Structure 1
């Protein structure tokens, strides 16, 4: 492939396009793990080559449990991507994480089931460390950007990833709150795991859209999630504009060596 792509951007609920890219072209990929959610829009932004992929497809045709996360991440790997910034809509499990806030996840609790969560399931065993699942240098760049822009944000967040597509019961929501989790969503797992296995730096940008269902008188709906995301998507776009040019070409963090010592 002629174009060497520097950074991947994954669009979540309410983030379906990348009109900010210049000289862009659509690239359709097929690989060992099947078809990604959509074609990759590859173009230039602030001197970097960027590949954008809507996680659920342009028409939001794929529910979280239907997304082919392996194909999505493998496609970025085929493009030569070394860093991924992933936009996500999340619910809040704490009063202080308010709708419209950004949260920069540093830990997760996996409550999914049946999702293909590894590239190493045929003839080779690997045990990747997820002690620190996100790329800390990339997180720090994003956090610094949000701080400079004056965007209300939370520098740490523990994310409960549920299977979906349904939302939680009140009992489940209260259980997750008792675990001291901060936010809840449906897409971080296995996306972040697969990025680590592919030795790609990965950092999510989570937009809080609702209070899940633990808050008295509040029942979350997909309509509410999309509405709040659309009202606040400008914050994510401003953040990307702020940070992309500041991402260094060379990686010095542990992500590129994530699989050293992980294979049997």
Structure 2
């Protein structure tokens, strides 16, 4: 039997009151990670956990998140399937704000992040021919269809360090090399989850056009507000996907 986890990004730091959850502290060698065990257990007989990526008060900037500790904590809890969400900027004029996209591939432009889940001498080369789990992507796609929520079922996620937003020249480059959306939190999770043997997929929400595609300046508060306004829909899709994955067991 395998457990599931939902990792919430910007705007999705907390569950609504009707979701009764209990905080679980996972003590690791160099960190303590707090996750929410959803006691109502929407995916019985598996356990379902919720992990707010930025902390429950969004106090962690993208470059301050301990991605490895988060994945290690979920491994300790017996999780082998992760449904995540990421706020992203659009690199294409035909992917406007409000678009939901399920990436199938990524390009790693991070420079100051931890490279691997493996530490010390216990490492191996890991195949990334399928960077995101087809199982998870299919579940999210099917869930969106069941709920009549439009999604783009493929896309390339470009990962950057942040916390600053990208320059217009960087945005043009990312688009030229095949990127569709850009974000600061998705790549390390995908890498570490794959290396840890966890099925991982994410539902990206386009909060804004990246720099140079719009005359409007990009402001974090506006990005957060845009995401928060759509969290109920995103949450519904992810929980429906969790149900579908449970049915496959």
Q: TM-score, normalised by structure 2?
A: 0.92
Distance 1:120 1:240 in 2: 28
- Aligned match of 1:77: 75
- Aligned match of 2:210: 212
Q: TM-score, normalised by structure 1?
A: 0.87
Aligned residue among 11, 25, 43 for 2:22: 25
Residues 1:117 and 2:115 are matched in the alignment: yes
Task: Please give the per-residue CA displacement for 1:36-91, whole angstroms capped at 9, x wherever unaligned.
Answer: 3xx11002125342110100101111111110001000000000011000111000
Q: CA deviation at 1:220?
A: 1.5
Could you list the runs of 5+ residues in structure 1 that have no partner in the other structure? 252-264
Q: CA deviation at 1:122?
A: 0.5
Could you list the runs of 5+ residues in structure 2 that have no partner in the other structure? none
Aligned length: 246
Q: C-alpha root-mean-square deviation of aligned residues, in Å? A: 1.8
Distance 1:94 1:141 in 2: 25
Distance 1:62 1:89 in 2: 15
1:86-125 correspondence runs (5 A): 86-125=84-123
- Aligned match of 1:254: none
Q: Which runs of 4+ in 1 moved over 4 A?
A: 20-23
Distance 2:43 2:119 in 1: 38
Question: Which moved further from structure 2: 68-77 or 97-106?
Answer: 97-106
Does the 8 Å contact 1:33/1:70 carry over to 2? no
- Aligned match of 1:42: 37
Q: CA deviation at 1:99?
A: 1.1
Distance 1:23 1:238 in 2: 16
Q: CA deviation at 1:26?
A: 0.6
1:187-226 correspondence runs (5 A): 187-226=185-224
- Aligned match of 2:141: 143
- The 3-state SS of whatever aligns with 2:96 is coil
